[in-house]
Chains A and B, each alone.
Chain A
Amino acid sequence: MSRWGESPPRPASVDALLDPAVAAALVGLDIESRKLLASPRHGERRSTRRGTSVEFADFRPYTAGDDLRRIDWNVYARLDALVIKLFQDEEDLLTVLAVDDSASMRFGTPCKHTTASKIAFALGVTALGAGHRVQAHALGAEGAVSQTLRGRGGAGQLGKWLIDLSADGRGDLAMDLKALSGAVRGRAKIIVLTDALVPSDAMPAAMSTLASRGHDVHLLQVLSPQELQPLATGLSGDHRLVDAETGEGPAVSMTASIEAEYRARLNAHVEMIDAAAHRCGVRPLLVRTDEPLEDLLRSRLRQGGVLR
């Protein structure tokens, strides 16, 4: 029996990141983007730019230099006017999965870091299966970034990259989020998986910076039952609480009133994150680690605009 809040070992293989039931739940899903995001590459995602796809977009009068193959000869026959058919250009979508790799994520049963990794892998597999590009970033781990992955073959690489994370980073989450906004070229679907337990007021600014670059940003705040309900999950008696990242901590005699104070502070922090996210266009979602992943993917992430 492990101590209160202690996490079980991290998954040792890629297979452990994706249960068959979860894989089955991913069938038919795709990454949702409320914005049409520009991309230098043609992809399967409809772009705001007119391009070369087969999907008709509009007509415009012919001008010298236009490609004669695009003249709509049926219109010319009926109206005796040369018009050019415009088609919707198709771009691929860049999905950025930003996983908090700080030491605070290695907590709870189930482990927050493991849960975040599983969600990221499921989203990555979904995106790669839909033909999008995927890029993974580790927050709090000195800017570790995966290669830009494409195609179904990239799923294995993404899984291995996630498995190799150590969850012992000591970085500044807000700074890493700002750095992330600059590191992503073009606009992308950015899904941040973090506990967001950062005491500073820098989090709202970081989220604002991230969203201001035109990214479609989701903040999945991953918390464990032990954090949400300490007494109910077995934390009692006298303890010295040690911060996972700083190593400091107070002496606490756990009582109902102490827990109430703690939960009030935690709720206030979550609400602050939620409000700040909404202000800057980031869509927040609180995820419990004991929540079934299938339900999360098929229901809450679709409702939250992460998947469709």
Chain B
Amino acid sequence: MTLIAPWLALGLLLALVPALLVLWILRLRRARIRVPAQWLWSDAREDLRAQVPFQRLRWSILLLLQLIALGLLLLAAARPRVVASLHSGGRTVLMIDTSASMHTRDASQGRRRFDAAREAVRGAIDRLHPGGLMDHGGGQTMLVTLGARPQIVQPFTSSRAVLLQALESIDVTDEPATLTPALDLAHAWAAVPDPDAGEAPAEGTTHLEVFSDGGLADLVDALDGLDAPLVLQHVGAEDTPNAAIARIGGTRDPADPAKLTPWVSVMHWAAQAASVKIRLVINGEPSSVRAIDLPAATEDGPGRVDVMFPAVRSAGRTALTAELVPGDALAEDDIARCIVPESGGARVAQMGKSAPLLRRALAALGLHAAGDESPDLVVAVSDTTAALPAVPSLSFGAPPVSAMVKPAATVPDTSIATSSHRHAVSRGSRLTGIRAAGAHVVQVDPGVRVLASSREGPLIVAWREQGVPRIHVGFEPSRSTWPQREDFITFLVDATAWLVGIDDEAGGHVAGDRIELALPAQTTSVDVQFNGDTIDTFSPADPSRAIWGPAPQAGVYAFHWASPDAQGVREAVVNMPVAVEGDTRRGAFTIDDPLLEARRASDRGVPLWPFAVIGAVLTLIAEWWIWVKRQ
């Protein structure tokens, strides 16, 4: 049993019990008794005890019952609850979700989900380390944040004050959250409580408690093979709708590169359709406002609308900002930014089988054939004859010759079962459900990122081979249902942007990503500024490339680089990880695992105060009955 408000009860106890006893020893009220001859009591009238305001406290069953009733009422005031399954003592790892979706302000709660989670963690600390005379400080608790990378905010400690102080230092980020690294971290620390101190391995079970709104991309996978008791405490409402700008970009006309057509992709997680406006700002100047209707979400995913804005003329580097008006429960993803590089698109060389569909699509993206010039990008379709040149490549069908990606099997008919939203190439597209004929499943080395897989194995992968970025799709688009889907072009945009490097500044990063930027050779130091404040300074390991992150917040990061003979600035736009964090309707955890217990963070067990109140009332009734019988 836990007491939610013990201090209130203690205060009332100190105030009311003495008051009750004073009422008993005071002679404030006397029952009027009719007697035949009061003069017979004349001596008693002079009794001193009847004249002084106080008397000796005399034993009475009525007093006992009143004290019992008062005690029960005080117990009710302390709001007791039975939380039978939550443990106390031992080692516990408290993991609090600090991902972007925790910004959400549910209408029913009136505060951020993160604030609710922090209060729940505070309650857990209260339970594990109640403090006071009765606290023996038996438990050891560690505090971990769930973001793009788990962070140990406070290693194992038995100090309640230290834990609460560490908890107050945590704030929500714009990152996505993953559970697997946090569980790995927790398991490692549970085995050796303080590796830095060289402690011996710990014995006994370590309990894990996760406080999240459910926006954990790898929740199911992370719990596979769970070997420690885990309590998932859910915060937030299950029906909070959200609209978010998933992607923003600008397409230049191949015939007139200065002609820029901005576009925005909006996702909508709601059971009902809605209408919003999109306000577009170009290079800091308001440009236009478009009203759109957002379709309701379906079982396949959120409602999605792609909006093309009227073309504008901007040949140079162009900053685009789009904002949804009015905002909603998760305001942080209602705004997105990107930077469209200056005109002069990349040159593409095509290899292997002829693919008219791809050629037209790439042309629409502003990429033009390299001809005799050196290409910026190679697009290969089922070309297995020779190694690809040392330029970025996007290959389809049979895998090209590679040391890191090798053919595994050919599948006559398959479909994409799982996909990753954590890569810049795939986060804007919904790849699951694409059906393909003659697909080539590949076998990959550890450094290769799998973006999508069928049941037979990886189908879409991305990797860097000798520093050269490459993407391979294990089927030909013309032999799949992909071109019929609206996100085919989105994938091509994201893939070519990532491959030719324009993604560095364009806005392909999301919070939680590492930012990779090409820098002038001989760069010696980089200052990272965000909103005008320098937040980091480092010397790049590769003088021509800056790798920094993860970026905790969405916005524009300025990288001030310096080399012995020059200095300059490159910017990186970071947006919200909408694909993972935009769904604010995640319900309570419903995972069937004997080691797993799912509960709402606000559910602190069975409240006992109604029983205490009923007991008090019954006691008072009994007291009244006895009093009446005595009269």
Q: A residues near B, CB below 8 A?
A: 1-6, 104-105, 107-108, 112, 195, 197, 199, 227, 234-235, 237-244, 246, 248-253, 255, 258, 261-262, 265-266, 269
A244 touches B34 (CB 8 A): yes
Nearest-CB residue, chain A, relative to B35: A241
Interface centre among A112, A234, A242, A243 (most CB of B within 10 A): A243
Contact yes or no, B34 A253, CB < 8 A:
no
Which residues of chain A are near B40, meaning CB under 8 Å? 197, 262, 265-266, 269
- A-B pairs with beta carbons under 8 Å apart, 20 shown: A3-B33, A5-B33, A6-B34, A107-B36, A197-B36, A234-B630, A235-B33, A237-B31, A238-B30, A238-B55, A239-B32, A240-B33, A241-B33, A241-B34, A243-B36, A249-B35, A253-B50, A258-B47, A262-B41, A265-B40
For the complex, give the distance between the alpha carbons of A6 and B36 in Å: 11
Closest to A234 in B: B630
A1→B631 CA distance, assembly (Å) = 7
- Among residues 597 to 631 in chain B, which have CB atoms less than 8 Å away from a CB atom of chain A? 628-631
Report how far A305 CA is from B561 CA in the complex, Å: 134
Within 8 A of A (CB), among B13-55: 27, 30-45, 47, 49-51, 55
Contact partner of B628 (CB less than 8 A), chosen from A1, A248, A255, is A1
Shortest B99–chain A CB gap in Å is 68
Contacting pair A261 B44 (CB below 8 A): yes
| Interface contact A241-B36, CB-CB below 8 Å | no
With a CB–CB cut-off of 8 A, which chain A residues contact B37?
Answer: 104, 195, 197, 199, 243-244
Chain A residues with CB under 8 A of B50: 238, 250-253
Known: A112-B36, A238-B27. 16 other contacts (CB 8 A): A1-B628, A3-B631, A5-B35, A108-B36, A195-B36, A197-B40, A239-B33, A242-B32, A242-B35, A246-B38, A252-B45, A252-B50, A253-B50, A255-B47, A255-B49, A265-B43
A235 to B36 CA separation, bound complex (whole angstroms) = 14
A202, chain B: closest CB distance, angstroms: 14
Partner of B629, one of A1, A235, A242, A252: A1
**Closest A residue to B43 using CB positions:** A261
Interchain residue pairs A-B with the least CB separation, the first 6: A250-B45, A104-B36, A243-B38, A197-B37, A249-B38, A240-B30
Instruction: From the candidates B38, B51, B55, name the one contacting A241 in the complex (CB within 8 A).
Output: B38
Asked whether B36 lies within 8 Å of A251 as measured between CB atoms, the reply is no
CB distance from A114 to the nearest CB of B (A): 14
Q: Nearest Cβ in chain B — how far from A119, in angstroms?
A: 18
Q: Could you tell me the distance between the alpha carbons of A243 and B40 in the complex, rounded to whole angstroms?
A: 10
Which residues of chain A are within 8 angstroms of B43 by Cβ–Cβ distance? 258, 261-262, 265
Which chain A residues lie closer than 8 Å to B27 at the CB level? 238, 251, 253
Size band of the interface chain B makes with A: 20 to 34
Please name the residue on chain B nearest to A249 by beta carbon.
B38
A1 to B27, CA, bound (A): 25
Do A251 and B35 have beta carbons less than 8 Å apart?
Answer: no
In the complex, how many angstroms separate the beta carbon of B62 from the nearest chain A beta carbon? 10
A250's partner among B34, B36, B44 (CB-CB below 8 A) is B44
Instruction: Select from chain B the residue with minimum beta-carbon distance to A243.
Output: B38
Are A262 and B44 within 8 A (Cβ)? yes
Which A residues are in CB contact (< 8 Å) with B55?
Answer: 238, 253
The complex places the Cα of A43 from the Cα of B616 at a distance, in Å, of 74
List chain B residues, Cβ under 8 A from A112: 36
Q: Do residues A244 and B36 form an inter-chain contact, with CB atoms below 8 A?
A: yes
CB distance from B624 to the nearest CB of A (A): 13
Given contacts A197-B40, A266-B40, contact A252 B47 (CB under 8 A): yes
Within 8 Å by CB of B33, from A108, A242, A248, A258, lies A242
Q: Which B-chain residue is minimally distant from A112 (CB atoms)?
A: B36
In the complex, chain A residues whose CB is within 8 Å of the CB of B38: 241-243, 246, 248-250
Chain B nearest CB from A128 CB (Å) reads 31
Among B34, B39, B44, which residue has its beta carbon within 8 angstroms of that of A252? Answer: B44
Measured between C-beta atoms, what is the minimum distance from A103 to chain B in Å? 8
Q: When chains A and B are docked, how far (Å) is the Cα of A252 from the Cα of B187?
A: 75
Closest Cβ of chain B to A101, distance in Å, is 13
Note all chain A residues with C-beta closer than 8 A to B32: 239-240, 242
Q: Which residue of A lies closest to B42 (CB)?
A: A250
Q: Which residues of A contact B629 (CB under 8 A)?
A: 1
Question: Considering the chains assembled together, what is the distance between the CA atoms of A179 and B43 in angstroms?
Answer: 33
Q: Report how far A235 CA is from B44 CA in the complex, Å.
A: 14
Contacts of B49 in A (CB 8 A): 253, 255
The answer to whether B41 touches A253, judged by C-beta atoms less than 8 angstroms apart, is no
- Bound-state CA distance A151–B458 (Å) is 128
List, in ascending order, chain B residues with CB within 8 A of A3's CB. 31, 33, 631
B629, chain A: closest CB distance, angstroms: 5
Neighbouring A residues of B33 by C-beta, 8 Å = 3-5, 235, 239-242
CB-CB nearest in chain A for B39: A199
Contact with A along B148-160 (1 / 0, CB 8 A): 0000000000000
List the B side residues contacting A241 at CB < 8 Å: 33-35, 38, 41
The answer to whether A107 and B35 have CB atoms under 8 Å apart is yes
Q: Which residues of A contact B45 (CB under 8 A)?
A: 250-252
Which of chain B's residues have a CB closer than 8 A to the CB of A261?
Answer: 43-44
Q: What separation, in Å, do the CA atoms of A258 and B41 have in the docked complex?
A: 8
For A242, give its contact among B34, B39, B42, B51 (CB under 8 Å).
Answer: B34
> B31 and A240: CB pair below 8 A?
yes
The answer, among A4, A244, A253, A266, for a CB contact under 8 Å with B631, is A4
Instruction: Give Cα distance in the complex from A112 to B33, angstroms.
Output: 17
A residues less than 8 Å from B36 (CB atoms): 104-105, 107-108, 112, 195, 197, 227, 243-244
A107 lies within 8 A of B34 (CB): yes
Contact at B41–A249, with CB atoms within 8 Å? Answer: yes
A197 to chain B, nearest CB (A): 4
Residue from A5, A105, A246, A252 within 8 A of B41 (CB atoms): A252
How many angstroms from the CA of A261 to the CA of B43 in the assembled complex? 7
Residues of B within 8 A of A2 (CB): 631
Separation in Å of the B237 CB from the closest CB of chain A?
Answer: 57
Chain B residues near A199 (CB, 8 Å)? 37, 39
Determine whether the beta carbon of B34 is less than 8 Å from that of A239.
Answer: no
